[in-house]
């Protein structure tokens, strides 16, 4: 199943993509928004990314005005690899080289017919990867992710008392 979500800037294109997915028999879950009223993109990026991260949905599609914000938020979630794609060729590389599992499209710049080409010819979002990923690149990406997580853990392990005492030491040194 594909998770799909958009803010007001991607709403119209999301509705067209849903029609296409229905036509070809692909199951999806719509996480909103349900109209063109102004709303905040992080809400929908979070919902779709959580569904993919928790394996409730295999893949995801996110749409907002530029696609940038959705990509940033979605990539904060474990095991999510969101990529902003504008052409069929970018989609093929994003899938083959980076194994993206959430496709992000710019609602402002992407025509419906281009989005459908990206979905079918470019990324084949609903098809298995079949060994296209460069294993060395994937290994390196996972190493970077591990380092990022270790850094976050190290920051959390510092107690608030230590932080205050460190500030006092710094003040004394500067006096």
As a whole number of angstroms, the distance between CA 167 and CA 140 comes to: 36
- The active-site residue out of 57, 64, 68, 156 is 64
Q: Which long-range contacts (CB under 8 A, 24 or more apart) does 49-52 make?
A: 49/73, 49/74, 49/75, 49/76, 49/77, 49/80, 49/82, 49/102, 50/77, 51/3, 52/3, 52/77, 52/79, 52/80, 52/101, 52/102
**68 annotated active-site:** no
Name residues whose C-beta falls within 8 Å of residue 29's C-beta, 6 or more positions apart in sequence: 1, 2, 3, 4, 51, 57
Q: Which residues are catalytic?
A: 64
């Amino acid at each position: 199943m594909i998770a799909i979500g958009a803010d007001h800037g991607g709403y119209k294109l999301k509705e067209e993509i849903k029609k296409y997915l229905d036509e070809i028999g692909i199951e999806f879950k719509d996480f909103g928004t349900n109209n063109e009223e102004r709303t905040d993109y992080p809400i929908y990026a979070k919902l779709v990314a959580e569904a993919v991260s928790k394996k409730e949905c295999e893949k995801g599609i996110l749409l907002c005005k530029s696609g940038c914000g959705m990509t940033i938020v979605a990539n904060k979630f474990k095991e999510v690899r969101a990529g902003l794609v504008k052409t069929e060729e970018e989609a093929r590389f994003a899938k083959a080289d980076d194994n993206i599992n959430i496709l992000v499209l710019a609602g402002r710049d992407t025509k419906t017919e281009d989005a459908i080409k990206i979905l079918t010819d470019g990324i084949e979002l609903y098809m298995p990867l079949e060994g296209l990923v460069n294993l060395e690149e994937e290994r390196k990406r996972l190493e970077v992710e591990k380092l990022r997580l270790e850094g976050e853990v190290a920051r959390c392990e510092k107690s608030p008392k230590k932080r205050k005492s460190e500030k006092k030491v710094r003040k004394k040194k500067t006096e």
